[in-house]
């Protein structure tokens, strides 16, 4: 996370009721999350089965689902990168120039899922979402829909100001979509490679949290 979690918690007086982390990789954020919330209130989503198995072995009682999430249920090609973290349903865009040592080494076909259907079996009152799925963040949000987005208070997301991945959503598009649900982008940290992290908060909470 380019924007430290503890900084956001202190600045916006965040109290977690449930965390949904989309793009778990190896659950690197778990240690930080557990300073503020119990493991049983965190749900992880990860597309790569080997990473899901690794996380289950490493962390007992972890709640994690193996799923490729998008805005529709269809057969998609998932690209696996040599560094793991750049794996995506999208092809590499400017990423190839910014990080020429990263490339796709394999791919496989699978059926994508709607995020709302993946999380539906869990009785967790999510109020914080963290999205890190290499250009597909807006697709995941659209698969969550209003039923859940109206209950969420905070969204932390990887964002792109250029097409780091082909046809990825740009930060302005994510802003526009989340604005319709009352979210305002209050923090942004971009890298020289045109990708970064952004933090959104429900506008209805913003005045109270900054007083």
3-state secondary structure the chain: CCCCHHHHHHHHCCCCCCEEEECCCCCCCHHHHCCCCCHHHEEEEECCHHHHHHHHHHCCCCEEEECCEECCCCEEEEEEECCCCCCECCCECCHHHHCCCCCEEEEEEEECEEHHHHHCCCCCCCCEEEECCCCCHHHHHHCCHHHHHCCCCEEEEEEECCCCECCCCCHHHHHHHHHCCCEEEEEEEECCCCEEEEEEEEHHHHHHHCC
Task: Please tell me the predicted confidence (pLDDT) of residue 145.
Answer: 83
User: What sign does the CA torsion over 105, 106, 111, 117 have?
Assistant: negative
Task: Please tell me the predicted confidence (pLDDT) of residue 28.
Answer: 96
Task: Please tell me the predicted confidence (pLDDT) of residue 129.
Answer: 98
Closest CA to 175 of 159, 164, 189: 159
User: Which segments in the chain show pLDDT lower than 50?
Assistant: none
Closest CA to 61 of 38, 29, 28: 38
Task: Please tell me the predicted confidence (pLDDT) of residue 209.
Answer: 55
Q: How far apart are CA 92 and CA 73, in angstroms?
A: 22
The structure's pTM equals 0.95
Residue 105 in contact with residue 80, Cβ under 8 Å?
Answer: yes
- Identify the residue whose tokens are 């930080």: 32
Structure tokens at 142: 């659209």
Could you tell me the CATH superfamily of domain 5-206? Answer: Vaccinia Virus protein VP39 (3.40.50.150)
Q: How many residues does the chain have?
A: 211
């Amino acid at each position: 996370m380019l924007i430290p979690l503890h900084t956001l918690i202190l600045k916006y007086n965040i109290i977690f009721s449930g965390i949904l982390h989309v793009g778990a990789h190896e659950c690197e954020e778990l240690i930080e999350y557990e300073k503020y919330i119990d493991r049983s209130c965190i749900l992880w989503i990860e597309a790569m089965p080997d990473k899901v198995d690794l996380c289950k072995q490493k962390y007992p009682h972890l709640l994690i689902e193996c799923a490729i999430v998008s805005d529709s249920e269809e057969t998609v090609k998932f690209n696996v990168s040599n560094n793991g973290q750049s794996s995506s349903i999208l092809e590499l865009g400017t990423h190839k120039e910014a990080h020429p040592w990263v490339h796709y080494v394999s791919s496989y076909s699978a059926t994508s899922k709607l995020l709302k259907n993946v999380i539906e079996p869990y009785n967790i009152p999510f109020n914080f979402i963290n999205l890190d799925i290499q250009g597909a963040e807006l697709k995941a949000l659209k698969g969550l829909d209003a039923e859940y987005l109206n209950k969420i208070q905070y969204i932390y997301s990887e964002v792109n100001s250029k097409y780091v991945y082909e046809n990825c959503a740009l930060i302005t598009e994510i802003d526009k979509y989340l604005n319709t649900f009352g979210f305002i982008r209050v923090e942004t940290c971009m890298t020289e490679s045109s990708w970064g992290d952004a933090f959104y908060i429900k506008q209805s909470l913003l005045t109270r949290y900054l007083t």
